[in-house]
Structure 1
């Protein structure tokens, strides 16, 4: 049985590459990027607060003589032009560094990013780039991205401090050869790294039921939600349980059956042994439980077809009994109706909330290319956003105009909140993946008291140690991807069929045999070897 654990111990590596990118990139570079092979630190500090190249190692402006940098970036659908955002307008004045963004919409961004490297038409840096491990290692060893570890040491005091405070960050972004080619978005706020479990407390009160604490309790509560016409309209239109489309429902319920998500995959770790649990009997029990819920219409019958927008809209109707989401933003108008609860205990005594992301949450958010003539200034420029002050500017804009400080915490002004998507026009954090820190000092919008309380309900049941995916070398990463592309697709397809009843559990043996033929044992071996090499 998983015992209750205290929050705060997360030994992480990094996130696995989930898809191969276009290969055959040309680079036209020798690998000597002008940084002397010392991790991108030409010049260095000279005993003052300025480097030999005229870049200040602290304070502003970063450079006395203005410079311009070109950065390739992803623009989310909700965003406005980056040049109109106060963060970049004000930071240009503060730093003496002008940034010209090459903006690319989210749709098609990956393809354009690949083309950018394949053609070797590089900007100075890539902002909000979403580089995978395989991309960063491939482009770094090809000489198109420069190593950053030396620059971080000399020109990134905020990031360096975070890496010292959370050693898992360095472990999570360092290649097997010891280089750092990309830096992540960092989330030290625990509640920003996991979905909460929201239940309709007003329905429980109306029925005189307690919060469910076991999977059997949950089944009984969901049954009562289905059968009791909770909205009083005489129709059986209540949704007892819903989740994001596809496999998230499996992931959210896995902990009740003793199934963890170590190393960024379907992995349990026991006595330092990697166990990919996709074919074991605990997984079968989990799917049988979900099949029971689905067959009895206790799970949203659209869970394998609805869109993200439809799922979010269902939260705001008040007609849903139990669901999973990070914040309460989508049901603010009826927030008193819901409460965050602990995970249920399963049939074998397991009570685990396994779905929590690592501190370096958004891998590959920023990288510097080999054509950059000002790598020191560029590192200083990005490092500001790893401070609470810089993150406040990035996330909230201008004090007085866009936000107000209350007890040392920035809060959006009411007039900004009243306009749909207004925040997304003033900040690049909306849409995800921005290189910055999310701490409790800058998270008032996503971490209000109700969300904090919901996270506190989960804390005792978080894994004692959370290992994220290891950073494989390029050859191993490709091997892992080839194996996972087929295995993961098969697991998802068959799991869906088991849940909806399209595939009998009499076929479980065939499912296991097929996984063996797909060489899941070799995949397990590769994860074991990577885990054994990790600095734990």
Structure 2
């Protein structure tokens, strides 16, 4: 069975699904968009097949992008300043903050006021199919073959990348961020080891022991200021349609996996969407207990991303989840990574994890773009170690130095604290290659050690989120939008105590009314086809 799944065994892409506004197709049909992307043009004739500049005469492109709280303006980032000189391509970025980004992205497509490309765009599979079918995104497979040698080489080395981004019709409407480094595909479980040591507590190994540790963090004044102001546990705020982060981080302790890009367990070739099962109830009851006893951050469902990051850096938080230690570097000795805790039935699974194609819809080209060939060559550079180094580290000498061929920020630049401001990778989702050669900052020994605590508990096989045909994708979109919205709203209420678990039967019945069984059958059929 494992061999049959070799090309599909990639990390979870938890594809968000939203009610997508009706999209105008004024920009032309999908076939027309594909034809224009491959037809000769004056721009295409000027594109160099390799080397720089990409074009002899300067051109301008407009990109829509997400900007994280830690970033500086994109126009001030060394990568884009230097790359403009190298490529002769000037990119004007329209930046939208992480909070509210999805709504602004939806509005672009609904109004048909499109940029030339979407960068760091967080397009879901369903969005890519929908907007591709509407002719607003162009198919990229021909452009990749002709103008993206770096991306092509990666897809040949890791065939699961191509299978995870190609529709049943053979189209690629969006390209991902590609991560060949294991530790860049998981959020670590960081715990305050200084507090453990001060309170003479051992590392928690079960959900019961974790509860006891969090109680001690709350009650025994581990920060030593004589006040009860410690925050035992926090997590990121949910984004509509993208699941509850605290659920994703704790589900493995209750035997709940995140396969096929969804809340899915697979056992004996049977697909189960577990949102209504008893293990999920046990998990939500456990989280409710933490919340009611003020062990779980009361602001978790409302805080902004910047608030969450500030709590990491404060040193006054007992436990949180994040990919690396960038945010709390100044107090890094205070924290250490931990293994998933064992749940009441003996489950100890690291269910959260991303694929090699970690950020599915990181980059896409729209039908208004007059220079698709140039744009593809422009983005392909960042799928090389050289391009990724420029993107992540900036200017050699000024921002970084090479040690044994590996880029490291200089000590002087590290002291400025400006590392997140000079690169779009800070905050995640940038379309580029993350390999061991460019991971000195995000994969220092502390992060490697934290990853080592997770690796033994990761599933042997991570089944990819399926790419559906347009009709099925639209059906899945409708079903998942209703189910996800209901599940996230009700789960939040269960955790916060606004909804009694006496209502669990009603909760299950509503999931049935929202056709969870029909959605499960669609995923079962997709699994069966992929497993042949």
The TM-score with structure 2 as length reference comes to 0.88
Matched, 1:103 2:94: yes
- 1:288-327 counterparts in 2 under 5 A? 288-327=285-324
> C-alpha deviations, 1:312-349, integer Å up to 9, x for none?
33333333322222222332222212111111111212
- Is the Cα contact below 8 Å between 2:33 and 2:135 reproduced in 1? no
Shift in alpha-carbon separation, 1:203–1:463, aligned structure 2, 3 A:
same
Residue in structure 2 matched with residue 489 of structure 1 by the alignment: 485
Secondary structure of the residue that 1:230 maps to in structure 2?
coil
Residue in structure 1 matched with residue 4 of structure 2 by the alignment: none
Matched, 1:411 2:408: yes
Residue in structure 1 matched with residue 20 of structure 2 by the alignment: 21
Shift in alpha-carbon separation, 1:201–1:213, aligned structure 2, 3 A:
same
User: Using the alignment, how far apart are the partners of 1:139 and 1:245 within structure 2?
Assistant: 27
Residue in structure 2 matched with residue 517 of structure 1 by the alignment: 513
> C-alpha deviations, 1:262-299, integer Å up to 9, x for none?
12221101122110111111111212222333333333
User: Using the alignment, how far apart are the partners of 2:33 and 2:304 within structure 1?
Assistant: 48
- Is the Cα contact below 8 Å between 1:171 and 1:535 reproduced in 2? no
- 1:16-55 counterparts in 2 under 5 A? 16-29=15-28, 31-33=30-32, 36=35, 40-41=37-38, 53=45, 55=47
Secondary structure of the residue that 1:198 maps to in structure 2?
strand
Residue in structure 1 matched with residue 432 of structure 2 by the alignment: 436
Secondary structure of the residue that 1:487 maps to in structure 2?
helix
Shift in alpha-carbon separation, 1:499–1:35, aligned structure 2, 3 A:
closer
Matched, 1:346 2:343: yes
- Is the Cα contact below 8 Å between 1:13 and 1:471 reproduced in 2? no
Residue in structure 1 matched with residue 65 of structure 2 by the alignment: 74
- Is the Cα contact below 8 Å between 1:15 and 1:471 reproduced in 2? no
User: Using the alignment, how far apart are the partners of 2:194 and 2:265 within structure 1?
Assistant: 37
User: Using the alignment, how far apart are the partners of 2:255 and 2:445 within structure 1?
Assistant: 30
Residue in structure 1 matched with residue 388 of structure 2 by the alignment: 391
Aligned residue among 147, 155, 165 for 1:173: 165
Residue in structure 1 matched with residue 208 of structure 2 by the alignment: 216
Larger Rg: 1
Q: CA deviation at 1:67?
A: 4.2
Structure 2 residue runs of 5 or longer lacking an equivalent are 1-6, 239-243
Residue in structure 2 matched with residue 148 of structure 1 by the alignment: 140
- Is the Cα contact below 8 Å between 1:13 and 1:534 reproduced in 2? no
Q: CA deviation at 1:384?
A: 0.8
Secondary structure of the residue that 2:485 maps to in structure 1?
helix
User: Using the alignment, how far apart are the partners of 2:376 and 2:157 within structure 1?
Assistant: 20
Shift in alpha-carbon separation, 1:535–1:427, aligned structure 2, 3 A:
farther
- Is the Cα contact below 8 Å between 2:27 and 2:368 reproduced in 1? no
Greater Cα shift, 54-63 or 464-473: 54-63
Residue in structure 2 matched with residue 3 of structure 1 by the alignment: none
> C-alpha deviations, 1:196-221, integer Å up to 9, x for none?
11122222223333211122222232
RMSD: 3.0
- Is the Cα contact below 8 Å between 1:200 and 1:321 reproduced in 2? yes
User: Using the alignment, how far apart are the partners of 1:237 and 1:472 within structure 2?
Assistant: 49
> C-alpha deviations, 1:222-245, integer Å up to 9, x for none?
233333222333333333322223
Shift in alpha-carbon separation, 1:454–1:425, aligned structure 2, 3 A:
closer
Q: CA deviation at 1:75?
A: 5.2
- Is the Cα contact below 8 Å between 1:187 and 1:361 reproduced in 2? yes
Q: CA deviation at 1:354?
A: 0.7
Matched, 1:126 2:123: no
Shift in alpha-carbon separation, 1:499–1:447, aligned structure 2, 3 A:
same
Secondary structure of the residue that 2:161 maps to in structure 1?
helix
Matched, 1:163 2:175: no
Secondary structure of the residue that 1:232 maps to in structure 2?
coil
Greater Cα shift, 107-116 or 203-212: 107-116
Secondary structure of the residue that 1:315 maps to in structure 2?
helix
Shift in alpha-carbon separation, 1:30–1:160, aligned structure 2, 3 A:
same
Residue in structure 2 matched with residue 46 of structure 1 by the alignment: none
Matched, 1:499 2:471: no
Greater Cα shift, 222-231 or 28-37: 28-37
Matched, 1:228 2:220: yes
Q: CA deviation at 1:381?
A: 1.9
Greater Cα shift, 118-127 or 82-91: 118-127
The TM-score with structure 1 as length reference comes to 0.87
Shift in alpha-carbon separation, 1:355–1:92, aligned structure 2, 3 A:
same
Secondary structure of the residue that 2:15 maps to in structure 1?
coil
- Is the Cα contact below 8 Å between 1:388 and 1:437 reproduced in 2? yes
- Is the Cα contact below 8 Å between 1:152 and 1:379 reproduced in 2? yes
- Is the Cα contact below 8 Å between 1:172 and 1:471 reproduced in 2? yes
Shift in alpha-carbon separation, 1:99–1:207, aligned structure 2, 3 A:
same
User: Using the alignment, how far apart are the partners of 1:87 and 1:309 within structure 2?
Assistant: 24
